[in-house]
């Protein structure tokens, strides 16, 4: 009976050592996966920061394009006004020429 108890004790010690070894292995795996997860999180943050910087650059470029578009629109509007003024002057000159030819005096229709 003492021999059986000693055998049970030895078996329990062996089971305890195996359980401890498995726990140590699990702890090591946990540390490894934790380190991998932390590295992945750092990469994700770095990628998010890079994406934010790219988005900011894209927004700045868009603002620049809008500013150029506004300046071009202003130039186009000014050119259209000059064109209208020139058309009015040409029309006035044509009217003056035609009225003088007919002896009607000065007639203007623009400004």
pLDDT at position 1, please? 85
Q: pTM of this prediction?
A: 0.54
CA distances to 33, 54, 57, 76 from 40, in Å: 10, 21, 26, 53
Nearest to 108 by CA among 82, 97, 98, 96: 96
Give me the tens of pLDDT residue by residue for the chain, a chain 111 residues long.
889 999 999 999 999 999 999 999 999 999 999 999 999 999 999 999 999 999 999 999 999 999 999 999 999 999 999 999 999 999 999 988 888 777 655 555 565
pLDDT at position 93, please? 92
pLDDT at position 103, please? 66
């Amino acid at each position: 009976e003492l021999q059986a108890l000693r055998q049970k004790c030895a078996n329990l010690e062996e089971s305890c050592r195996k359980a401890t070894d498995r726990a140590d292995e699990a702890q090591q795996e946990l540390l490894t996966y934790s380190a991998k997860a932390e590295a992945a999180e750092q990469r994700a943050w770095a990628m998010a920061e890079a994406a934010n910087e790219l988005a900011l650059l894209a927004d700045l470029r868009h603002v620049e394009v809008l500013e150029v578009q506004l300046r071009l629109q202003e130039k186009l509007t000014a050119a259209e006004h000059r064109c209208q003024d020139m058309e009015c002057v040409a029309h006035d000159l044509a009217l003056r020429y035609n009225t003088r030819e007919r002896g009607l005096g000065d007639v203007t229709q623009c400004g």
